[in-house]
Structure 1
Amino acid sequence: MFLAASVSLVLLTGACSSDEDTSSPAPSTSSASSDAGAPATSSTCPTAAPDAAAIPEWTLDGDSGSMAVVGSTDTAAPAVTVDTPFAVGETQVETLMAGDGPVVAADAEVSVCYMGVNGRTGETFDSSFERGAPVEFPLDGVVAGFQKAIAGQTVGSTVAVAVTSADGYASGNPAAGIEPGDSLIFAISILSAA
Protein backbone atom coordinates (compact mmCIF):
# COMPACT_ATOMS: atom_id res chain seq x y z
CA MET A 1 0.00 0.00 0.00
CA PHE A 2 1.36 3.44 -0.93
CA LEU A 3 0.72 5.04 2.47
CA ALA A 4 2.59 2.41 4.44
CA ALA A 5 5.56 2.60 2.10
CA SER A 6 5.57 6.39 2.02
CA VAL A 7 6.47 6.75 5.71
CA SER A 8 10.13 6.44 4.76
CA LEU A 9 9.67 8.74 1.79
CA VAL A 10 8.07 11.50 3.80
CA LEU A 11 9.91 11.48 7.08
CA LEU A 12 13.33 9.94 6.86
CA THR A 13 16.09 12.13 5.52
CA GLY A 14 19.27 10.16 5.97
CA ALA A 15 22.33 11.15 7.90
CA CYS A 16 23.37 14.07 5.70
CA SER A 17 19.96 15.76 5.25
CA SER A 18 20.02 14.97 1.56
CA ASP A 19 17.05 15.96 -0.57
CA GLU A 20 17.66 13.02 -2.89
CA ASP A 21 14.69 10.80 -3.62
CA THR A 22 15.82 7.54 -2.04
CA SER A 23 13.83 4.68 -0.62
CA SER A 24 15.24 4.14 2.84
CA PRO A 25 13.66 1.67 5.24
CA ALA A 26 10.54 2.93 7.01
CA PRO A 27 10.57 3.53 10.76
CA SER A 28 9.34 0.62 12.81
CA THR A 29 5.56 0.54 12.53
CA SER A 30 4.89 -3.09 13.33
CA SER A 31 3.17 -3.67 16.65
CA ALA A 32 4.59 -7.19 16.57
CA SER A 33 8.14 -5.88 16.85
CA SER A 34 9.26 -2.78 18.75
CA ASP A 35 5.76 -1.71 19.81
CA ALA A 36 5.16 -4.96 21.71
CA GLY A 37 5.98 -3.33 25.04
CA ALA A 38 4.40 0.03 24.26
CA PRO A 39 1.60 1.24 26.50
CA ALA A 40 -1.93 0.75 25.17
CA THR A 41 -2.42 4.51 24.83
CA SER A 42 0.26 4.67 22.12
CA SER A 43 -0.66 1.52 20.20
CA THR A 44 -3.31 3.07 17.95
CA CYS A 45 -4.15 6.32 16.21
CA PRO A 46 -7.79 7.41 15.96
CA THR A 47 -9.15 6.88 12.45
CA ALA A 48 -12.58 8.53 12.64
CA ALA A 49 -13.13 11.83 10.84
CA PRO A 50 -13.44 14.87 13.12
CA ASP A 51 -16.82 16.42 13.78
CA ALA A 52 -17.85 18.37 10.67
CA ALA A 53 -18.76 21.32 12.90
CA ALA A 54 -15.34 21.39 14.62
CA ILE A 55 -13.74 24.82 14.65
CA PRO A 56 -10.11 24.90 13.44
CA GLU A 57 -7.56 25.48 16.20
CA TRP A 58 -5.16 27.06 13.69
CA THR A 59 -5.65 29.02 10.51
CA LEU A 60 -2.81 30.52 8.52
CA ASP A 61 -2.61 32.73 5.47
CA GLY A 62 0.47 31.69 3.55
CA ASP A 63 2.55 33.62 1.03
CA SER A 64 -0.07 32.10 -1.27
CA GLY A 65 -3.25 30.29 -0.28
CA SER A 66 -4.34 29.50 3.26
CA MET A 67 -4.91 26.51 5.50
CA ALA A 68 -6.87 25.48 8.59
CA VAL A 69 -6.18 22.63 11.02
CA VAL A 70 -8.56 20.79 13.35
CA GLY A 71 -6.39 18.79 15.75
CA SER A 72 -6.83 15.15 16.62
CA THR A 73 -8.71 13.99 19.70
CA ASP A 74 -8.89 10.68 21.56
CA THR A 75 -11.56 9.53 19.10
CA ALA A 76 -10.93 11.46 15.87
CA ALA A 77 -8.11 12.11 13.43
CA PRO A 78 -7.12 15.68 12.55
CA ALA A 79 -8.36 17.52 9.48
CA VAL A 80 -6.38 19.91 7.31
CA THR A 81 -8.17 22.06 4.74
CA VAL A 82 -6.17 24.00 2.19
CA ASP A 83 -6.95 26.87 -0.15
CA THR A 84 -4.43 25.89 -2.83
CA PRO A 85 -1.79 26.49 -3.75
CA PHE A 86 -0.58 27.09 -0.20
CA ALA A 87 3.05 28.06 0.39
CA VAL A 88 5.01 29.59 3.25
CA GLY A 89 8.36 31.37 3.22
CA GLU A 90 9.15 30.39 6.83
CA THR A 91 8.37 27.19 8.73
CA GLN A 92 5.71 27.93 11.36
CA VAL A 93 4.69 25.72 14.30
CA GLU A 94 1.45 25.94 16.29
CA THR A 95 0.70 24.04 19.51
CA LEU A 96 -2.95 23.02 19.19
CA MET A 97 -3.08 21.35 22.62
CA ALA A 98 -0.24 21.31 25.14
CA GLY A 99 0.53 17.98 26.75
CA ASP A 100 1.65 17.50 30.33
CA GLY A 101 4.48 15.05 29.68
CA PRO A 102 8.23 15.64 29.54
CA VAL A 103 9.82 18.01 27.02
CA VAL A 104 10.91 16.28 23.80
CA ALA A 105 14.65 16.54 23.09
CA ALA A 106 15.82 17.25 19.53
CA ASP A 107 17.43 13.79 19.34
CA ALA A 108 14.67 11.79 21.09
CA GLU A 109 13.14 8.57 19.81
CA VAL A 110 9.46 9.48 19.43
CA SER A 111 6.17 7.72 18.83
CA VAL A 112 3.63 9.87 17.00
CA CYS A 113 0.42 9.82 15.01
CA TYR A 114 0.61 12.24 12.10
CA MET A 115 -0.78 13.28 8.76
CA GLY A 116 1.01 15.15 6.00
CA VAL A 117 -0.69 17.37 3.41
CA ASN A 118 0.86 18.89 0.30
CA GLY A 119 0.20 22.64 0.23
CA ARG A 120 0.28 22.78 -3.57
CA THR A 121 -2.47 20.19 -4.04
CA GLY A 122 -4.25 20.09 -0.68
CA GLU A 123 -3.97 16.28 -0.83
CA THR A 124 -2.93 14.05 2.08
CA PHE A 125 0.26 12.26 1.03
CA ASP A 126 0.74 10.20 4.20
CA SER A 127 -1.21 9.50 7.39
CA SER A 128 -0.57 7.17 10.30
CA PHE A 129 -4.08 8.16 11.39
CA GLU A 130 -5.45 6.44 8.25
CA ARG A 131 -3.38 3.35 9.06
CA GLY A 132 -4.55 3.46 12.69
CA ALA A 133 -1.03 2.91 14.03
CA PRO A 134 1.64 5.31 15.30
CA VAL A 135 5.17 5.40 13.96
CA GLU A 136 8.39 5.45 15.95
CA PHE A 137 11.62 7.05 14.77
CA PRO A 138 14.60 9.08 15.95
CA LEU A 139 13.71 12.75 15.71
CA ASP A 140 17.13 13.63 14.32
CA GLY A 141 16.43 11.37 11.30
CA VAL A 142 13.42 13.20 9.83
CA VAL A 143 12.93 16.24 7.61
CA ALA A 144 13.88 19.47 9.39
CA GLY A 145 10.33 20.87 9.49
CA PHE A 146 8.99 17.76 11.21
CA GLN A 147 11.78 17.95 13.80
CA LYS A 148 11.13 21.68 14.36
CA ALA A 149 7.48 20.87 15.06
CA ILE A 150 8.20 18.28 17.76
CA ALA A 151 11.49 19.21 19.48
CA GLY A 152 10.79 21.34 22.56
CA GLN A 153 7.12 20.32 22.75
CA THR A 154 5.80 18.18 25.61
CA VAL A 155 4.64 14.58 25.32
CA GLY A 156 0.88 14.49 24.96
CA SER A 157 0.83 17.63 22.80
CA THR A 158 -0.92 17.99 19.47
CA VAL A 159 0.93 20.30 17.09
CA ALA A 160 0.70 21.48 13.51
CA VAL A 161 3.43 22.83 11.28
CA ALA A 162 3.53 24.59 7.94
CA VAL A 163 6.86 23.57 6.41
CA THR A 164 8.85 25.41 3.76
CA SER A 165 10.20 23.44 0.85
CA ALA A 166 13.72 23.88 2.23
CA ASP A 167 12.68 22.29 5.56
CA GLY A 168 10.84 19.49 3.73
CA TYR A 169 11.92 18.31 0.27
CA ALA A 170 13.54 21.17 -1.63
CA SER A 171 14.25 18.85 -4.57
CA GLY A 172 10.86 17.16 -4.31
CA ASN A 173 9.90 13.56 -3.61
CA PRO A 174 8.06 12.18 -6.66
CA ALA A 175 7.10 8.91 -4.95
CA ALA A 176 5.02 10.94 -2.46
CA GLY A 177 3.74 13.40 -5.09
CA ILE A 178 5.91 16.20 -3.70
CA GLU A 179 7.39 18.54 -6.31
CA PRO A 180 10.37 20.90 -5.84
CA GLY A 181 9.15 24.01 -4.02
CA ASP A 182 6.12 22.38 -2.35
CA SER A 183 5.27 23.54 1.17
CA LEU A 184 3.96 20.79 3.46
CA ILE A 185 1.54 20.78 6.40
CA PHE A 186 1.70 18.22 9.21
CA ALA A 187 -0.74 17.61 12.07
CA ILE A 188 0.99 15.58 14.80
CA SER A 189 0.01 13.94 18.10
CA ILE A 190 3.07 13.25 20.26
CA LEU A 191 2.51 9.98 22.11
CA SER A 192 5.89 9.32 23.74
CA ALA A 193 9.57 10.26 23.67
CA ALA A 194 12.66 8.56 25.04
Structure 2
Amino acid sequence: MFTVRRAALASTLLLTLALSACNSTDDTAAESSGQAAASTVAVTTCPSSTPDASATPAWEFDGATGAIAVTAPTEDAAPAVEVTTPFSVDETTVQTLVPASGAIVEDTATVSVCYLGVNGRDGSVFDSSYERGTPAEFPLDGVVTGFQKAIAGQNVGAAVAVAMTSADGYPEGNPQAGIEQGDTLVFVIQILGAEG
Protein backbone atom coordinates (compact mmCIF):
# COMPACT_ATOMS: atom_id res chain seq x y z
CA MET A 1 0.00 0.00 0.00
CA PHE A 2 2.77 2.44 0.94
CA THR A 3 4.66 1.69 -2.32
CA VAL A 4 1.55 2.24 -4.43
CA ARG A 5 0.79 5.53 -2.65
CA ARG A 6 4.44 6.65 -3.02
CA ALA A 7 4.38 5.85 -6.75
CA ALA A 8 1.13 7.78 -7.17
CA LEU A 9 2.62 10.72 -5.28
CA ALA A 10 5.71 10.64 -7.49
CA SER A 11 3.58 10.69 -10.63
CA THR A 12 1.60 13.60 -9.23
CA LEU A 13 4.79 15.46 -8.32
CA LEU A 14 6.30 15.02 -11.81
CA LEU A 15 3.07 16.26 -13.37
CA THR A 16 3.09 19.19 -10.93
CA LEU A 17 6.71 19.98 -11.84
CA ALA A 18 5.63 20.25 -15.46
CA LEU A 19 2.40 22.13 -14.87
CA SER A 20 3.97 24.57 -12.40
CA ALA A 21 6.57 25.64 -14.91
CA CYS A 22 4.06 26.02 -17.71
CA ASN A 23 1.38 27.61 -15.51
CA SER A 24 -0.98 25.53 -17.60
CA THR A 25 -3.65 22.95 -17.04
CA ASP A 26 -3.76 21.78 -20.66
CA ASP A 27 -3.64 18.00 -20.24
CA THR A 28 -3.27 17.43 -23.97
CA ALA A 29 -0.07 19.51 -24.13
CA ALA A 30 1.32 17.79 -21.04
CA GLU A 31 0.53 14.35 -22.47
CA SER A 32 1.98 15.10 -25.89
CA SER A 33 5.20 16.52 -24.44
CA GLY A 34 5.48 13.44 -22.20
CA GLN A 35 5.07 11.18 -25.22
CA ALA A 36 7.73 13.09 -27.13
CA ALA A 37 10.09 12.84 -24.18
CA ALA A 38 9.64 9.09 -23.89
CA SER A 39 10.43 8.56 -27.57
CA THR A 40 13.57 10.73 -27.69
CA VAL A 41 15.55 9.79 -24.56
CA ALA A 42 17.03 6.37 -23.82
CA VAL A 43 15.98 4.93 -20.45
CA THR A 44 18.44 3.32 -18.06
CA THR A 45 18.09 2.62 -14.34
CA CYS A 46 18.74 4.61 -11.19
CA PRO A 47 20.96 2.96 -8.54
CA SER A 48 18.95 2.21 -5.43
CA SER A 49 21.54 0.93 -2.94
CA THR A 50 22.03 2.96 0.22
CA PRO A 51 25.10 5.21 0.05
CA ASP A 52 28.17 4.28 2.04
CA ALA A 53 27.74 5.80 5.51
CA SER A 54 31.46 6.64 5.60
CA ALA A 55 31.40 8.52 2.27
CA THR A 56 32.65 12.10 2.45
CA PRO A 57 29.99 14.64 1.44
CA ALA A 58 30.62 16.14 -1.99
CA TRP A 59 28.93 19.40 -0.92
CA GLU A 60 28.45 20.99 2.47
CA PHE A 61 26.47 24.21 2.42
CA ASP A 62 25.25 26.61 5.10
CA GLY A 63 21.93 28.20 4.24
CA ALA A 64 20.26 31.34 5.55
CA THR A 65 19.13 28.89 8.25
CA GLY A 66 20.36 25.34 8.76
CA ALA A 67 22.80 23.43 6.59
CA ILE A 68 23.06 20.47 4.24
CA ALA A 69 25.68 17.80 3.53
CA VAL A 70 25.19 16.05 0.19
CA THR A 71 26.72 12.69 -0.71
CA ALA A 72 26.95 12.21 -4.48
CA PRO A 73 25.40 9.24 -6.24
CA THR A 74 27.72 6.53 -7.53
CA GLU A 75 27.34 3.81 -10.12
CA ASP A 76 25.87 1.54 -7.44
CA ALA A 77 24.46 3.83 -4.75
CA ALA A 78 21.84 6.54 -4.48
CA PRO A 79 22.80 9.97 -3.13
CA ALA A 80 22.05 11.18 0.39
CA VAL A 81 21.19 14.57 1.83
CA GLU A 82 21.74 15.20 5.53
CA VAL A 83 19.84 18.27 6.70
CA THR A 84 20.28 20.45 9.77
CA THR A 85 16.71 21.76 9.96
CA PRO A 86 15.16 24.03 9.19
CA PHE A 87 17.28 24.62 6.10
CA SER A 88 16.46 27.58 3.88
CA VAL A 89 18.18 29.66 1.21
CA ASP A 90 17.65 33.22 0.02
CA GLU A 91 19.00 32.43 -3.45
CA THR A 92 18.91 29.23 -5.51
CA THR A 93 22.38 27.65 -5.48
CA VAL A 94 23.67 24.91 -7.79
CA GLN A 95 26.72 22.75 -7.10
CA THR A 96 28.31 20.22 -9.47
CA LEU A 97 28.99 17.08 -7.41
CA VAL A 98 30.43 14.85 -10.13
CA PRO A 99 31.72 16.56 -13.29
CA ALA A 100 31.37 14.94 -16.70
CA SER A 101 32.42 15.57 -20.28
CA GLY A 102 29.21 14.70 -22.12
CA ALA A 103 27.27 17.08 -24.33
CA ILE A 104 26.12 20.35 -22.76
CA VAL A 105 22.43 20.32 -21.87
CA GLU A 106 20.50 23.02 -23.71
CA ASP A 107 17.79 25.12 -22.01
CA THR A 108 15.00 23.37 -23.92
CA ALA A 109 16.42 19.83 -24.04
CA THR A 110 14.42 16.78 -23.08
CA VAL A 111 16.39 15.10 -20.32
CA SER A 112 16.53 11.74 -18.58
CA VAL A 113 17.58 12.06 -14.93
CA CYS A 114 17.69 10.25 -11.63
CA TYR A 115 16.83 12.55 -8.74
CA LEU A 116 16.28 12.76 -5.00
CA GLY A 117 14.09 15.54 -3.56
CA VAL A 118 14.39 16.61 0.10
CA ASN A 119 12.39 19.24 1.98
CA GLY A 120 14.69 21.65 3.83
CA ARG A 121 12.05 22.46 6.43
CA ASP A 122 12.07 18.99 7.99
CA GLY A 123 14.68 16.97 6.07
CA SER A 124 12.10 14.53 4.67
CA VAL A 125 12.47 12.85 1.28
CA PHE A 126 9.36 13.75 -0.68
CA ASP A 127 10.29 12.08 -3.97
CA SER A 128 13.04 9.84 -5.32
CA SER A 129 13.47 8.17 -8.69
CA TYR A 130 16.33 6.29 -7.00
CA GLU A 131 13.78 4.53 -4.76
CA ARG A 132 11.74 3.59 -7.84
CA GLY A 133 14.87 2.58 -9.78
CA THR A 134 13.56 4.37 -12.87
CA PRO A 135 14.70 7.72 -14.27
CA ALA A 136 12.34 10.59 -15.01
CA GLU A 137 12.11 12.14 -18.46
CA PHE A 138 10.88 15.65 -19.20
CA PRO A 139 11.54 18.75 -21.29
CA LEU A 140 13.47 21.37 -19.32
CA ASP A 141 11.09 24.09 -20.44
CA GLY A 142 8.29 22.10 -18.78
CA VAL A 143 9.56 21.98 -15.18
CA VAL A 144 10.00 24.36 -12.27
CA THR A 145 12.68 27.04 -12.57
CA GLY A 146 14.97 25.45 -9.96
CA PHE A 147 15.27 22.27 -12.05
CA GLN A 148 16.07 24.34 -15.14
CA LYS A 149 18.77 26.27 -13.25
CA ALA A 150 20.30 23.02 -11.97
CA ILE A 151 20.43 21.12 -15.27
CA ALA A 152 20.74 23.58 -18.19
CA GLY A 153 24.37 24.21 -19.07
CA GLN A 154 25.62 21.07 -17.30
CA ASN A 155 27.24 18.14 -19.11
CA VAL A 156 25.45 14.85 -19.68
CA GLY A 157 26.80 12.38 -17.13
CA ALA A 158 27.23 14.97 -14.38
CA ALA A 159 25.63 14.81 -10.95
CA VAL A 160 24.50 18.13 -9.49
CA ALA A 161 22.75 19.38 -6.39
CA VAL A 162 20.49 22.39 -6.10
CA ALA A 163 19.14 24.19 -3.05
CA MET A 164 16.19 26.10 -4.47
CA THR A 165 14.11 28.89 -3.07
CA SER A 166 10.39 28.45 -2.78
CA ALA A 167 9.98 30.91 -5.67
CA ASP A 168 12.04 28.61 -7.94
CA GLY A 169 10.19 25.49 -6.72
CA TYR A 170 6.62 25.60 -5.41
CA PRO A 171 5.77 29.18 -4.38
CA GLU A 172 2.27 28.12 -3.29
CA GLY A 173 3.45 24.80 -1.85
CA ASN A 174 2.44 21.29 -2.92
CA PRO A 175 0.33 19.71 -0.14
CA GLN A 176 0.25 16.27 -1.81
CA ALA A 177 4.05 16.11 -1.49
CA GLY A 178 4.10 17.67 1.99
CA ILE A 179 5.63 20.88 0.64
CA GLU A 180 4.43 24.06 2.35
CA GLN A 181 4.51 27.59 1.03
CA GLY A 182 8.01 28.99 1.60
CA ASP A 183 9.81 25.60 1.79
CA THR A 184 13.36 25.42 0.42
CA LEU A 185 13.89 22.21 -1.56
CA VAL A 186 17.11 20.29 -2.16
CA PHE A 187 17.50 18.04 -5.20
CA VAL A 188 20.37 15.77 -6.17
CA ILE A 189 20.18 15.13 -9.90
CA GLN A 190 22.15 12.68 -12.04
CA ILE A 191 21.92 13.65 -15.74
CA LEU A 192 21.68 10.45 -17.79
CA GLY A 193 20.85 11.86 -21.21
CA ALA A 194 19.60 14.87 -23.15
CA GLU A 195 18.09 15.38 -26.59
CA GLY A 196 17.46 18.64 -28.40
Taking structure 1 as the reference length, what is the TM-score of the superposition? 0.87
Taking every aligned residue pair, what percent have the same amino acid on both sides?
55
Correspondence for 1:14 among 1, 15, 19: 19
C-alpha distance in 1, partners of 2:149/2:185?
13
Change (3 A) 1:144 1:36: closer
Change (3 A) 1:125 1:150: same
- Aligned position for 2:174: 173
8 Å CA contact 2:99, 2:158 repeated in 1: yes
Q: Secondary structure at the match of 1:192?
A: strand
Change (3 A) 1:64 1:150: same
Alpha-carbon offset, residue 156 of structure 1: 0.2
- Aligned position for 1:149: 150
Q: Does 1:44 align with 2:49?
A: no
- Aligned position for 1:72: 73
Unaligned runs of 5+ in 1: none
C-alpha distance in 1, partners of 2:39/2:77?
22
Change (3 A) 1:16 1:65: closer
Counting only pairs closer than 5 Å after superposition, residues 3-152 of structure 1 correspond to structure 2 as: 3-5=6-8, 6-10=10-14, 12-14=17-19, 17-18=22-23, 34=38, 38=42, 42-152=43-153
Correspondence for 1:2 among 2, 5, 9: 5
C-alpha distance in 2, partners of 1:125/1:15?
17
Change (3 A) 1:37 1:69: closer
Taking structure 2 as the reference length, what is the TM-score of the superposition? 0.86
Q: Secondary structure at the match of 2:131?
A: helix
Structure with bigger helix share is 2
8 Å CA contact 1:19, 1:172 repeated in 2: no
Unaligned runs of 5+ in 2: none
Alpha-carbon offset, residue 12 of structure 1: 2.0
C-alpha distance in 2, partners of 1:141/1:183?
20
Give every structure 1 segment of 4 or more consecutive aligned residues whose post-TM-superposition deviation is greater than 4 Å: none
Alpha-carbon RMSD across the aligned residues, in angstroms, is 2.6
Change (3 A) 1:136 1:105: same
Give the partner amino acid of 2:83.
V
Aligned length: 185
Alpha-carbon offset, residue 13 of structure 1: 3.5
Change (3 A) 1:121 1:163: same
